[in-house]
Amino acid sequence: MRMTQPRAVVVDIEGTTTPISFVKDTLFPYARARIAAYVAAHPDDPAVAEARALAGGADVAAALARWIDEDRKVAALKSLQGAIWEEGYRTGALKAPVHPDAAEALRAWHDADIALAVYSSGSVAAQKLLFGHSDQGDLTGLFSAWFDLATGSKLEPQSYAKIAAALGEAPSHILFLSDHPGELAAAEKAGFRTIRVDRGEGPPPAPPGDAPTVRSFAEIDLEAMPAGSRKLARGA
């Protein structure tokens, strides 16, 4: 069987649709500067209680700040960061940069009835805030599904199998876009088609593999593509 294009595209965020620097240099410092005040103002927040238990008697605000510095994947921290970012987006203090080529391609693919989804280590709530308050406009309406670490590690093939099941598509009908070689390898093992988006700010180049590499979404051609082929990049 042959088809002209994938039926679904799943995108990573950091380094793919959005500069890594936004998370590292804007979102993390914004939350870190406000985490102590948030904890003091919301002592009954379940996430604060969970973080306090994880801190094991240490000062919870100091522990949370340290976890931010270490980029720890702690659910309570992600929840509290999300709450702080929500206020920042709502007040206009935060505006998420999305690469114009990514926004243009996502809109075109959506208009072509290709299902779009996000898979990121950030919480689903944080994903929606980012795309809902982007410098390219509110993009949330383009996506039909959102996945975070509740689905599983981005480095494990079974996580992508779960995503395929949730989307109701065979893995071979789904294209995954990411800057991370380990994520792409896991997706390929699950049967996904893959493209690495290398904007020059992510992990170092991986050894040659099946996934073609592009510098922007403008280089990706989803037309006239045989089933099972991974060569979606123009000129690949």
Please write the tens of the pLDDT for every residue from 44-68: 999 999 999 999 988 999 999 999 9
Please write the tens of the pLDDT for every residue from 140-179: 999 999 999 889 999 999 999 999 999 999 999 999 999 9
Q: Which helix (H) or strand (E) holds 124?
A: helix 124-132
Q: What are phi and psi of 171, to 5 degrees?
A: -55, -35
Q: Could you write out the DSSP letters of every residue in 142-198?
A: G-SEEE-TTS--TT-HHHHHHHHHHHTS-GGGEEEEES-HHHHHHHHHTT-EEEEE-
What are the beta bridge partners of residue 176? 10, 194
Q: For domain 22-91, give its CATH number from 1.10.720, 1.25.10, 1.10.3470, 1.10.760.
A: 1.10.720
Q: Is domain 8-18+96-219 classified as CATH 3.40.640.10?
A: no
| Mean pLDDT lowest among 29-38, 122-131, 210-219, 225-234 | 225-234
Q: What is the mean pLDDT of the chain?
A: 89
pLDDT at 74: 86
pLDDT at 211: 72
- Each domain of the chain, given as residue ranges in start order, spans 8-18+96-219, 22-91
Is the pLDDT at 80 greater than 70? The verdict is yes
Find the distance separating the first CA and the last CA of the chain, reported in whole Å.
22
pLDDT at 201: 78
Q: Say which residue the tokens 């709450």 belong to.
A: 83
Q: Which residues, other chains included, contact 186 with Cβ-Cβ below 8 Å and sequence gap of 6+? A: 154, 155, 156, 157, 159, 160
pLDDT at 222: 86
Q: Say which residue the tokens 């702690």 belong to.
A: 74
Mean per-residue pLDDT for 122-128? 90
pLDDT at 39: 95
pLDDT at 206: 52
